[in-house]
Structure 1
Amino acid sequence: MSILSIQSSVAYGHVGNSAAVFPLQRLGVEVWPVYTVHFSNHTGYGQWRGPLLPASDVREVITGIEERGAFPGVDAVLSGYQGGEDIGDVILDAVARVKKANPDAIYACDPVMGNAKSGCFVHPAIPVLLRERVVPAADLITPNQFELGFLTETEPETLEDTLDSVDKARAMGPQTVLVTSVLRPDRPEDTIEMLAVNGDGAWIVQTPQLPMKANGSGDVTAALFTAHLLSTGSPAEALGRTASSVFDLLGNTLESGERELQLVQSQESIAHPKMQFEVTQVR
């Protein structure tokens, strides 16, 4: 399996491609990372150094990969935070070129816009770009519950609300939707859920909610779910594997006392998920 991953990069810590590449490699996936930025660290620190790469440079790197004859072997294009419309154009162009070379390839998009605590933290043009152009081109999207609502202009709270919002998102184009950070009001205390939906059904998995916020966890989740979905063909199995690995990763990070995800230390949980959480079909 080969994935073309077009995302940010940091030297210190784990977000974007710096969060996605190693877990994918531990699953045996060939990853070709293309960087949209190369920062010293993620912006959550308030200070960082390094370049935001021009869209023309990102396009040149992708074209160079294409010139090596690699596109027919790409099983998925993966993208995360899109810093501007120009990068969005580059990603969409790459998706079209990959799919022309391999019609079975999928586009997996993490439509990063914000979260329930921080609200929407991207430029106002980004949600419009995602709604009108990016999501309709995607086969798989992995929003959190807040982003799902922002994307579909709804306010999902209950499970039924969330499923209705997913239906609206799927009507935009994607076949499969993974919703992370599902916080329905009737869930047991100190739990959090993920929901996967495609044309065959909907499945939910519940885990303890750990008292922490970890930058890059959404990037890891999107990468793992994409790989597991491609390898198994089953949203339910992909959901169970992803939830297991991400929970152990977050647990190890919390226990370490470190701010950055403990990816290397959690690699066995990524390569060999314990499958400790039950996946339930809800539709």
Structure 2
Amino acid sequence: MTAPSTETPLVLSIQSHVAFGHVGNDAAMLPLQLLGIQPVAVHTVQFSNHTGYGEFKGQVFTPAHIADVLDGLRARGVLARCTAVLSGYLGDAGVGEAILAAVQEIRAARPGLHYLCDPVMGDVGRGLFVRPGIPEFLRRRALAQASIITPNHYEFELLHGAPLASVPEAIAAARSLLGAAPGTGPSLVVVTSLRTPDLPADRLATLAVTADAAWLVKTPYVDLQPLPNGMGDVFSAVLLGHLLRGKPTPDAVAGAVSSLYALVSRTSPGQRDLPLVACQAQIAAPVDRFSAEAV
């Protein structure tokens, strides 16, 4: 009898990095580790802090820098061992191309590779906050290569090209983005912070859509002003971790929503970051669990 593999799954996480705060890789690494996943972090920027604190210092790394780091990982055989790729905020469309090149390279050896692309572009109230060219890159290039996308409501409407009036309309819009095979579009669309007119005003919803099923997870609306940064980064990391650990899609989505709600609801008013370290137990085993309802 062959012993089960004890090798820890590796996730190539190509995102921003801040010395202080929890966004990008600094929001994704701890959740992945707590779920038994080893992140291989490649930083697209290095800033002193995230923009929620106002002034920041640091640099946006060039596509050549990203390619150089990936080349070093390739030489160590690390890229070939990665079972998933995670990406979020892009400082430059050229960095996006370097990410897609890595995805295509790994997928050639691992056809079942998960590529979770969080298409960070903006949010309700803040509007668009990425550089010109990023939305077009995400729509025209990244969407086709992703196996999972996790836009918020605002970003999903940008990808869809029109406002959404109802949950059934959102489901139809999500299915229009799905691909028939790897490299043609995602097989799973997860829309966070969904607030269509047909949903209760005191609830926040997350919608998960595949070709033949859809689920809705609803939580109480937590009215924090301002909202802490990095919520989408944490959600995407936890969702990917659950999927890599073999959870069915509705359970993985419900688990990620439950963990994020636990962290948001424990965030002090005015705090700009989620309490990842202080409340780390809520990441793998949240006290309040919400279920995914088929719609």
Regarding TM over 0.5, the answer is yes
SS in 2 for 1:187: coil
SS in 2 for 1:232: coil
Equivalent position of 2:166 in the other structure = 158
Cα distance between partner residues in 2 of 1:122 and 1:69: 33
**Pick from 182, 206, 226: which aligns with 2:218?**
206
Equivalent position of 1:10 in the other structure = 18
Q: Does 1:173 align with 2:202?
A: no
Question: Conserved in 1, the CA contact under 8 Å of 2:12 and 2:42?
Answer: yes
More helix by share: 1
Equivalent position of 1:145 in the other structure = 153
Q: How high is the TM-score relative to the length of structure 1?
A: 0.95
Cα distance between partner residues in 2 of 1:47 and 1:99: 39
Question: Conserved in 2, the CA contact under 8 Å of 1:71 and 1:101?
Answer: no
Q: CA RMSD in A?
A: 1.4
Q: Does 1:77 align with 2:85?
A: yes
Distance 1:163 1:121, change over 3 A: same
**Pick from 228, 231, 248: which aligns with 2:242?**
228
Stretch moving more, 229-238 or 77-86: 229-238
Distance 1:124 1:157, change over 3 A: farther
Shift of 1:280: 0.3
Q: Which runs of 4+ in 1 moved over 6 A?
A: none
Question: Conserved in 2, the CA contact under 8 Å of 1:148 and 1:169?
Answer: no
Stretch moving more, 28-37 or 186-195: 186-195
**Pick from 285, 288, 295: which aligns with 1:272?**
285
Shift of 1:123: 2.5
SS in 2 for 1:150: helix
Cα distance between partner residues in 2 of 1:222 and 1:125: 23
Cα distance between partner residues in 1 of 2:34 and 2:22: 15
Question: Conserved in 1, the CA contact under 8 Å of 2:53 and 2:272?
Answer: no
Q: Does 1:108 align with 2:108?
A: no
**Deviations along 1:6-49, whole A, 9 cap, x unmatched?**
00000110000010001110111011000000100002222001
Q: How high is the TM-score relative to the length of structure 2?
A: 0.91
Residue segments in structure 2 that go unaligned for 5+ positions in a row: 1-8
SS in 1 for 2:178: helix
Cα distance between partner residues in 2 of 1:218 and 1:244: 13
Identity across matched positions, percent: 41
Equivalent position of 2:69 in the other structure = 61
Cα distance between partner residues in 1 of 2:229 and 2:175: 28
**Deviations along 1:242-268, whole A, 9 cap, x unmatched?**
11100011111136x532211001211
TM alignment of 1:118-133, pairs within 5 A: 118-133=126-141
Question: Conserved in 1, the CA contact under 8 Å of 2:10 and 2:38?
Answer: yes
**Pick from 203, 210, 216: which aligns with 1:191?**
203
Question: How many residue pairs get matched?
Answer: 281
